[in-house]
Amino acid sequence: MSHHGFTEVGAAPDEHTIRVGLLGYAFMAKAHSNAYRTIPYIFWPPAAKPRLVAIAGRTEERVAEAARRFGYEGYYTSWEELVEDPRIDLFDNCSSHHMHAEPSIAALKHGKHVVCEKPMALTAEDAYRMLSVARASGRRHMCGFNYRFVPAIRLARDLIDRGQLGDIYHIRVQYLQQSLHDPDRPLGRVPDPGSSKAGSQAILGSHAVDLARFLVGEFGTISALNPRFLDRRPGPGSTMVDLEWDDASIALVEFQNGAVGTVEASRLATGRANSLRFEINGSRGTVAFDLERLNELQVFLSEASVSDVVGFSDVLVTRPDHPYASVWWPHGHILGWEHAHINELNHFIESIVNETTVEPYGATFEDGYRAAVIAEAIAQSADSGQRVEVTFEK
Amino acid sequence: MSHHGFTEVGAAPDEHTIRVGLLGYAFMAKAHSNAYRTIPYIFWPPAAKPRLVAIAGRTEERVAEAARRFGYEGYYTSWEELVEDPRIDLFDNCSSHHMHAEPSIAALKHGKHVVCEKPMALTAEDAYRMLSVARASGRRHMCGFNYRFVPAIRLARDLIDRGQLGDIYHIRVQYLQQSLHDPDRPLGRVPDPGSSKAGSQAILGSHAVDLARFLVGEFGTISALNPRFLDRRPGPGSTMVDLEWDDASIALVEFQNGAVGTVEASRLATGRANSLRFEINGSRGTVAFDLERLNELQVFLSEASVSDVVGFSDVLVTRPDHPYASVWWPHGHILGWEHAHINELNHFIESIVNETTVEPYGATFEDGYRAAVIAEAIAQSADSGQRVEVTFEK
Amino acid sequence: MSHHGFTEVGAAPDEHTIRVGLLGYAFMAKAHSNAYRTIPYIFWPPAAKPRLVAIAGRTEERVAEAARRFGYEGYYTSWEELVEDPRIDLFDNCSSHHMHAEPSIAALKHGKHVVCEKPMALTAEDAYRMLSVARASGRRHMCGFNYRFVPAIRLARDLIDRGQLGDIYHIRVQYLQQSLHDPDRPLGRVPDPGSSKAGSQAILGSHAVDLARFLVGEFGTISALNPRFLDRRPGPGSTMVDLEWDDASIALVEFQNGAVGTVEASRLATGRANSLRFEINGSRGTVAFDLERLNELQVFLSEASVSDVVGFSDVLVTRPDHPYASVWWPHGHILGWEHAHINELNHFIESIVNETTVEPYGATFEDGYRAAVIAEAIAQSADSGQRVEVTFEK
Amino acid sequence: MSHHGFTEVGAAPDEHTIRVGLLGYAFMAKAHSNAYRTIPYIFWPPAAKPRLVAIAGRTEERVAEAARRFGYEGYYTSWEELVEDPRIDLFDNCSSHHMHAEPSIAALKHGKHVVCEKPMALTAEDAYRMLSVARASGRRHMCGFNYRFVPAIRLARDLIDRGQLGDIYHIRVQYLQQSLHDPDRPLGRVPDPGSSKAGSQAILGSHAVDLARFLVGEFGTISALNPRFLDRRPGPGSTMVDLEWDDASIALVEFQNGAVGTVEASRLATGRANSLRFEINGSRGTVAFDLERLNELQVFLSEASVSDVVGFSDVLVTRPDHPYASVWWPHGHILGWEHAHINELNHFIESIVNETTVEPYGATFEDGYRAAVIAEAIAQSADSGQRVEVTFEK
């Protein structure tokens, strides 16, 4: 049927495509798939348009539904087949923690660019293997520390880089949730063997560690506690589950540049839904942030005072001159949690297409490895009661 | 090329489709297009999957780019052709204010369901024509009062509906922006003839009026001021532009149910990026809201006090049992401004597919018409200095 | 008994004294008495040391107790005797509303300086009589608009005076309490005949009116509502009380300088303990304030932005360079509600001793009179539904 | 001269008096003197009326002025004479840190009740001597941890005591000021020899330690850092001063009851005027507090939720049923920083007159001693890098 005046449009002649294969179909897979679908019209014109080639997961019914839901062309039920598929440029690992290392390594060996969710690995040794393969591969690699791409957090980094906070003295960073606060509420599922040791430090603390590194610098020494308040909790049904994880994790840190701070994670912070927050004090200013109000950065700058008008500014980080903001909506039209993932994966795609580095604003496998080393140093100090020096393999 | 183990997926056999034609390619068109693209995997399984058939706009270069950007199959450069296109089920009017009435009426006459952005029309007469045609058409119609679909605002409505605030005494609602605060900053463009009279009341105030009606009830009387602080402002280049619009609009309102309140809009609220806020006091509780923190509702309930723990609760409206929340992310993972549009347009699609009503949670052309009547009553009181009774055509 | 090394001290040889007589023994009498006792060591060296000569009140038992409690040398049970006492320099009228006019007039006629609590009188006519006598007396006179002496409010005034907010466009001022929100809770006492008409406007609204005048300027026109939600309420015991007062009062105001605003008072604002708040938008900045956080002023100044660090500053108004702050505690050691009374009465004593004017920072009987005129204009507009022009006697 | 109807009043026949001698004339002396002068009419009828007998200090000009200013009957220039004066019942030690031990001990030996400002002593050894003498004396003794008497902090304690927070998991307490943040700003004075080692831990940290003990319980183990960012700072004039103090102090703590937390003090927290803040998470609720908003307590109680109205309540702790509130002003009329001192010293006077215990709500010399032990354990862990077990002498 003809429609007078209707002009059909197709892909632009010079449109680049990046072909994505994703492992996993849960929470993170939803966030990443949403990002790939949103990037091409928000970052306009896009560096490349993601083409969702394949998704993989163990349970066919669920992976098939995820493929239909998010628009993947098809699916695999084994990750080995996914990482071998020659049609795929970018492998995205959203599977569970203990499935981060091998699929990512295999994908790199098959020449894929790889983004892997955090914590990158459950041991520093695994993380170092991943990093070594990534370095050798010549491919782009990113560890999914998405909060670096929250505009307010990136603005904090920019203020520090520009020297507007002066010398950094202090950081306090906490990732607080309440999922385990009630000792009587059953766990949703029995933790699988690979992750039963991966507690608050792995799940929440790795974000806190990465932000401290991103904003303040490299860790020097650590004194820590990894408390477990309950050894057994009710599981599904009427079972009781033995637990080996830490319920919380607190590290007292000296940074290599002389700053000091605390880096904390807890899943027993009753009332805190998703509060990743920090305060950083420098000789010329202070910033403070809370993920539950992620569009805002509290900023105190000595230089910004007008006579007696001195105080913390509540900066709504949605102005066109703010990081990652101009592509979105007009000033004052706030962003949500998922937007950091969109900003992050667009950054990764741009790094691939434009052959630019992922760092310093994106986290690489080097950052993922270092977070794993720090997690082990925290555990070591918690066990021994000693202040531990952090050292990284080259 | 064969890929062992790869299973291709297509559309589900029973997948419903709703075919969309959209007029406009600016800010609102971006928000609505984003919604249509997001709905099918967020509201899963979707009531119907939007198929973006055509977009229309005056300037071919821009409408063609918008079509490619947002994935419309093609475009028109005249709205008349768009509204006639038999392939279209749903006509979405995101064009400028003076282009709301005729295209919407034509689309209804061609049997389309119609969603029209606010303010629905620049006169109550035009709005009533639109309403009359809509009523006669048997089609679904919605006026784009998207803020009804902010979860925290819907929660406020639910608390009122359940009687948890008791009898409503007061509302104060303000939509404050700063776009015109600086008398020396040139206007971005010369207001076009059709909209030079459409000032703060039309652009911002209509949202405030609709929220007052949505939350408290129908307007009874109005005393108002529509100040214009500057008759001339610098325009683009070195021109000066004569202005007929109101810079701000403030109405003192008696509601039909006995509540009283103020309904205000201003584009001279220096420092306020996008602050649509309200406070409602009832005999048993109070709610307060600000769009710059749209995930939060401040709630005071007499019934919620535990002995001496009495105060306003800062409710983060992202729990699975909160309105429009369960489809998104886990609790504490906040939503952005655009999500209200996604929730809104999904609601409209569901009303079409499931043959449910748009009201009471969505705004219909009846609501668009009533907002237009109220805008005229405000102007009339501002001119005459008299308290004006609001009356609507049946 | 001799104490080696003990040096007795008495009054400084040049110590000035101001002799105070106070009428009333309730809430305000407590606040004022506290002020007189605190002034001499906080404002050091004091302009004059208050000597508490006499207190007066109807009920001997209560006035005698008040005298002992607050350290008055003695008491009267009739105000007529108090205002005649030649030992008294300063008459302080803290009695109930309908007892403001005659005792204040009599005291002025006996040559006392007079401070009278607000609302200064229940009618503009009474207020004008008070003003006329005050003018003729040559004595200092002050109306107890104590909130002018909250440091953060005075800072707001200073910012406006210095032009840092630019031209003023908007004010919204509200005094919200919850004392009457529950229709079933009995009134503490039956309103006495003289004050049964004095409702929210007199009790709370007069403060809001004065702040609008203090900060923005003189009222031009008013459109208003004075709603009474309940004509009868339960009284003490099982009685029902007929009521003539307004439960709330809302005025829409054009100021003489072109600013517009709303001035509101309510005792049905559930959950609001004592929220006197305002926001003022000017062409170059905005200030916002809430009495429940009276040490803070939210300030947005266009001039204060450092590149992309733009936002409202939360100014803790306790720095030594802030108004009324240097005599108190170090920065960050916040003040309470009562401190405004102390600052206010010290200002009045200084105006007497140093022969300086009470205005512009203190309110005189002129301000008390004008607030009374405005209250009547509000009532007139509420009754008639007309916008009313405010006019003052010379 | 006779005044018809004037009735003179004197002291009540049964009025108790407590005779105060105070050492010091600086900031704390002002706060304590203000308290003694305010107590008798705020806590009405008072347990006893403070009679300000004598004040002592080294510099005659200053101590004489302080005596006249605050109304002491006379002064001494040596503390030895003050503590011997038989007219004195209560010795109040507001002198500098290194002058806390000997005068307090001497006063106890002369039979005085003693309140001593914090930190009680600069060494645990001195503190233990003070405690031993206090125990032997049979007199009341209090250490000036005034923040226990902030109504909101006491409410936090009450919630914990009642079990409304459940089992305590976490505390984070920080006392943040900015006095040293600028490395170029000269120190106001050269620290005197006795206090050059007394840094952030002594000045601020002792408050943080006491609050952690007051709210959560006794310390078990400590891992700590006591950083000094600058060894030399500009002093008065153009001198440079060598420094031995800690600029900040951070302790990672296991409490004896299993809770874990961080206890921190810093004088380099740019922008923080006087922010003593804490958050405590328990299995059933959370409280959070900041001294810069000392009238408010943020409270999350699982039990307080009404269906989907779940969040932190901002409790304005000024209701008559709140701790220390009923004697002051009506609800919503906030208190200032100084009021905690007034509440505290009234508590001490009541404990003397009524022969009640100072604990558990007031701090005794036992608490002062334990804070000193903890300060030394912090220093020891900071030096050694080892987790240290805290042990107290009996």
Give pLDDT, residue C239: 87
| Pair (A130, A102) in one structural domain | yes
| Pair (C169, C31) in one structural domain | no
Give pLDDT, residue D197: 67
| Pair (B214, B226) in one structural domain | yes
**D308 vs B307, B308, B322: nearest CB:** B322
In a mutational test of the A interface, the residue from C306, C312, C318, C324 whose CB has the highest number of chain A CBs within 10 Å is: C306
Using CB atoms, list chains with 3+ pairs below 8 Å to chain B.
Answer: A, C, D
Segment among A353-357, D18-22, D187-191 with least mean pLDDT: D187-191
Residue-wise burial string across D181-214, b where 16 or more C-beta atoms lie within 10 A, e elsewhere: bbeeeeeeeebeeebebbbbbbbbbbbbbbbbbb
- Alpha-carbon distance C390 to nearest alpha carbon in chain D (angstroms): 32
Last residue of a domain, one of A146, A166, A200: A146
Q: Is residue D348 part of a domain?
A: no
Give the residue on A whose Cα is nearest the Cα of B41: A69
Number of residues that this document lists for chain C = 394
Segment among A1-10, B121-130, B381-390, C89-98 with least mean pLDDT: A1-10
User: Do residues D278 and D288 lie in contact, with contact meaning Cβ atoms separated by under 8 Å?
Assistant: yes
The angle subtended at Cα D328 by Cα D88 and Cα C119, nearest 5°, is 130
**D223 vs A166, A223, A248: nearest CB:** A223
Residue D222's pLDDT band (cuts 50, 70, 90): very high
Give pLDDT, residue C1: 46
Domain span at residue C316?
A: 148-335+365-388
pLDDT beyond 80 at B198: no
Q: Is residue A58 part of a domain?
A: yes
User: Do residues D210 and D153 lie in contact, with contact meaning Cβ atoms separated by under 8 Å?
Assistant: no
Q: Work out the average pLDDT over A156-165.
A: 98
Subunit contact D311:B313, Cβ cutoff 8 A: yes
| Pair (B127, B184) in one structural domain | no
Alpha helices in B78-223 (DSSP H): 79-84, 101-109, 124-137, 151-161, 200, 206-215
Q: Is residue B350 part of a domain?
A: no
Last residue of a domain, one of D145, D160, D175: D145
Q: Which residues of D touch A250 (CB under 8 A)?
A: 252, 260-262
Q: Does D227 touch chain A (CB under 8 A)?
A: yes
Convert the pLDDT of each residue in D228-242 to its tens digit: 999 899 988 888 988
Q: For residues C279 and C258, what is the distance between their CA atoms, to the nearest angstrom?
A: 16
Q: For residues A303 and B199, what is the distance between their CA atoms, to the nearest angstrom?
A: 38
In a mutational test of the D interface, the residue from B302, B309, B319 whose CB has the highest number of chain D CBs within 10 Å is: B309
Q: Does A136 touch chain C (CB under 8 A)?
A: no
DSSP-assigned states of every residue in C28-97: HHHHHHHHHHHHHHHSSS-SSEEEEEEEE-S-HHHHHHHHHHHT-SEEES-HHHHHH-TT-SEEEE-S-G
Q: Which residues of B touch D311 (CB under 8 A)?
A: 299, 313-316
| Pair (B139, B266) in one structural domain | no
Give C351-357 contacts, CB < 8 A, sequence gap 24+: C351/C140, C351/C142, C352/C18, C352/C48, C352/C89, C352/C90, C352/C113, C352/C140, C353/C16, C353/C18, C353/C47, C353/C48, C354/C47
Half-sphere exposure of D226 (CA within 13 A, CB side): 25
In a mutational test of the D interface, the residue from C337, C339, C341 whose CB has the highest number of chain D CBs within 10 Å is: C337
Q: Does D316 touch chain C (CB under 8 A)?
A: yes
Subunit contact A322:C309, Cβ cutoff 8 A: no
- Alpha-carbon distance D281 to nearest alpha carbon in chain B (angstroms): 16
AA letter at B389 = E
Torsion of CA A340, A342, A344, A345, to 10 degrees: 160
Domains of chain A: total: 2
| Pair (D113, D227) in one structural domain | no
Average pLDDT along chain B: 95
Q: Is residue D352 part of a domain?
A: no
**D315 vs B155, B303, B309: nearest CB:** B309
Q: For residues B91 and B82, what is the distance between their CA atoms, to the nearest angstrom?
A: 8
Convert the pLDDT of each residue in D10-19 to its tens digit: 877 678 999 9
Put residue C332 in one of left, alpha, beta given phi > 0 → left and psi -120 to 50 → alpha.
left
Half-sphere exposure of B82 (CA within 13 A, CB side): 32
In a mutational test of the B interface, the residue from A23, A318, A334, A339 whose CB has the highest number of chain B CBs within 10 Å is: A334
At residue D41, the 3 state secondary structure works out as helix
Residue A87's nearest CA partner among A18, A36, A3, A6 is A18
Subunit contact D85:C3, Cβ cutoff 8 A: yes
Question: A157 is written with which tokens?
Answer: 């980094």
Give the residue on B whose Cα is nearest the Cα of A43: B69
Q: Is residue A340 part of a domain?
A: no
Q: Does D332 touch chain C (CB under 8 A)?
A: yes
3-state secondary structure B38-75: HHHHHCCCCCCEEEEEEEECCCHHHHHHHHHHHCCCEE
Q: Does C264 touch chain B (CB under 8 A)?
A: yes
**A292 vs B4, B7, B332: nearest CB:** B332
CATH number of the domain that residue A211 is part of: 3.30.360.10
- Alpha-carbon distance D293 to nearest alpha carbon in chain A (angstroms): 14
pLDDT beyond 80 at D126: yes
- Alpha-carbon distance D316 to nearest alpha carbon in chain B (angstroms): 7
DSSP-assigned states of every residue in A211-277: HHHHHT--EEEEEEE---S-SEEE-STT-EEE--S-SEEEEEEEETTS-EEEEEEES--TT-SSEEE
| Pair (C113, C207) in one structural domain | no
More confident residue, A190 or C123: C123
Q: For residues C35 and C49, what is the distance between their CA atoms, to the nearest angstrom?
A: 11
Count of C-beta atoms within a 10 Å radius of residue A190: 13
Q: Is residue B255 part of a domain?
A: yes
Q: Does B2 touch chain A (CB under 8 A)?
A: no
Cα–Cα distances (Å) from D359 to B132, D56, D324, D348, in that order, read 76, 28, 16, 10
Q: For residues B107 and B86, what is the distance between their CA atoms, to the nearest angstrom?
A: 10
Residue D329's nearest CA partner among C337, C346, C151 is C337
Give pLDDT, residue D101: 97
Strands D168-176 and D260-266: parallel
Subunit contact D268:A281, Cβ cutoff 8 A: yes
Question: A173 is written with which tokens?
Answer: 């960073």
Q: Which residues of C touch A151 (CB under 8 A)?
A: none
Segment among A350-359, B12-21, D53-62 with least mean pLDDT: B12-21
Cα–Cα distances (Å) from B323 to A292, B380, D105, D308, in that order, read 18, 38, 65, 10
Subunit contact C9:D74, Cβ cutoff 8 A: yes
Q: Does C1 touch chain A (CB under 8 A)?
A: no
| Pair (D153, D114) in one structural domain | no
Q: Is residue C266 part of a domain?
A: yes
At residue A20, the 3 state secondary structure works out as strand
Q: Does A215 touch chain C (CB under 8 A)?
A: no
Q: Is the pTM of this model over 0.95?
A: yes
- Alpha-carbon distance A91 to nearest alpha carbon in chain B (angstroms): 16
Give pLDDT, residue B1: 46
| Pair (B101, B165) in one structural domain | no
Give pLDDT, residue B195: 58
Using CB atoms, list chains with 3+ pairs below 8 Å to chain C.
Answer: A, B, D
Residue D1's pLDDT band (cuts 50, 70, 90): very low
At residue B286, the 3 state secondary structure works out as strand
Q: Work out the average pLDDT over A196-219.
A: 91
| Pair (C220, C295) in one structural domain | yes
Give pLDDT, residue A2: 53
Residue-wise burial string across D243-281, b where 16 or more C-beta atoms lie within 10 A, e elsewhere: bebbbbbbbbbbbeeebbbbbbbbbbbbbbbbbbbbbbb
| Pair (A109, A169) in one structural domain | no
Contacts with D66 (C-beta within 8 Å, 6 or more apart), sequence order: D25, D29, D33, D55, D57, D72, D75
CATH number of the domain that residue B136 is part of: 3.40.50.720
Q: Does C257 touch chain B (CB under 8 A)?
A: no
Give pLDDT, residue D10: 81
Q: Which residues of A touch B3 (CB under 8 A)?
A: 54, 81, 85, 87
Q: Work out the average pLDDT over A387-394.
A: 97
Subunit contact C274:D332, Cβ cutoff 8 A: yes
For chain A, how many helices (H) and strands (E)? 10, 18
**B229 vs C223, C258, C270: nearest CB:** C258
Residue A232's nearest CA partner among A220, A244, A214 is A244
Give pLDDT, residue B197: 67
Phi, psi for residue A339 in degrees, rounded to 5: -65, -30
pLDDT beyond 60 at B2: no
Convert the pLDDT of each residue in C265-289 to its tens digit: 999 999 999 999 999 999 999 999 9
Subunit contact D338:C337, Cβ cutoff 8 A: no
Q: Does A327 touch chain B (CB under 8 A)?
A: no
Q: Does C58 touch chain D (CB under 8 A)?
A: no
**B74 vs A8, A86, A295: nearest CB:** A8
CB-based burial of residue A224 (10 Å sphere; 0-12 exposed, 13-18 middle, 19+ buried)?
A: buried
Q: Which residues of C touch B262 (CB under 8 A)?
A: 250, 252, 262, 264
Question: A47 is written with which tokens?
Answer: 């560096």
Q: For residues C390 and C381, what is the distance between their CA atoms, to the nearest angstrom?
A: 10
Q: Does A387 touch chain D (CB under 8 A)?
A: yes
Give pLDDT, residue B196: 58
Subunit contact A38:B34, Cβ cutoff 8 A: yes
| Pair (B207, B281) in one structural domain | yes
Convert the pLDDT of each residue in C158-178 to its tens digit: 999 999 999 999 999 999 999
User: Do residues C120 and C365 lie in contact, with contact meaning Cβ atoms separated by under 8 Å?
Assistant: yes
Last residue of a domain, one of D122, D145, D168: D145
Q: Is residue B355 part of a domain?
A: no
Convert the pLDDT of each residue in B82-99 to its tens digit: 999 999 999 999 999 999
Cα–Cα distances (Å) from B246 to A146, B71, B201, B225, in that order, read 44, 38, 7, 9
Low-confidence ranges of chain C (pLDDT < 50): 1
pLDDT beyond 80 at A292: yes
More confident residue, A245 or A363: A363
- Report D:149-208 residues touching A (Cβ under 8 A): 165-167, 169-170, 172, 174, 176, 181-183
Q: Work out the average pLDDT over B269-290.
A: 98
Q: How many CB pairs under 8 A join B and D?
A: 61
Subunit contact C252:B250, Cβ cutoff 8 A: yes
Alpha helices in chain A (DSSP H): 27-42, 60-70, 79-84, 101-109, 124-137, 151-161, 200, 206-215, 339-353, 365-384
**C229 vs B172, B258, B269: nearest CB:** B258
Count of C-beta atoms within a 10 Å radius of residue A192: 12
